Amino acid sequence: MLTIYHNPRCSKSRDTLALIEAAGIEPEVVLYLETPPDAKTLQTLLSKLGIGARDLLRKGEDAYKENNLKNPELTDAQLIDFMVQHPKLIERPIVVKGDSAVLGRPPENVKALL
């Protein structure tokens, strides 16, 4: 079973979903802007991705700049809290299969899970 944290307005997210569906897989689609993940879910996703919270941030978002999230003194827990409050900060798409996950940037990354 695959799960995709998806933003239908994002071309990379749409392309990643199309690759999954082209492989004959009907994933669970989580519209994370409508139903944002909580801190525990984000921690689990980061663990599966094998990255830190800073690596999951969209640095071009207004909320990133307005909250000075480039500050190196912010902890992963603090950054996760900001992502919970402002889900637009979460890089997308995230595709999960079991204990593994990949970022669909580029969309071809998802092939590792198919």
Q: Domain range for residue 47? A: 37-89
Q: How many domains does the chain have?
A: 2
pLDDT of residue 101: 98
Taking the chain (114 residues) in runs of 10, the rounded mean pLDDT of each run is 96 97 97 97 98 97 96 97 97 97 96 94
Are residue 44 and residue 85 in the same domain, yes or no? yes
Is 84:37 a contact under the CB 8 Å cutoff?
yes
Are residue 68 and residue 102 in the same domain, yes or no? no
pLDDT of residue 25: 97
Residue 77: give its domain's CATH number: 3.40.30.10
User: Which residues are identified as catalytic?
Assistant: 10
pLDDT digits (tens, 9 = 90+) for 75-106: 999 999 999 999 999 999 999 999 999 999 99
Are residue 110 and residue 74 in the same domain, yes or no? no
Are residue 65 and residue 42 in the same domain, yes or no? yes
Are residue 45 and residue 26 in the same domain, yes or no? no
pLDDT of residue 67: 95
pLDDT of residue 114: 92
Are residue 85 and residue 42 in the same domain, yes or no? yes
Are residue 79 and residue 58 in the same domain, yes or no? yes
CA angle 28, 34, 40 (to 5 degrees): 70
Is 2:28 a contact under the CB 8 Å cutoff?
yes
CA 22/CA 108 separation, integer angstroms:
12
Are residue 24 and residue 41 in the same domain, yes or no? no
Is 30:6 a contact under the CB 8 Å cutoff?
yes
pLDDT of residue 32: 97
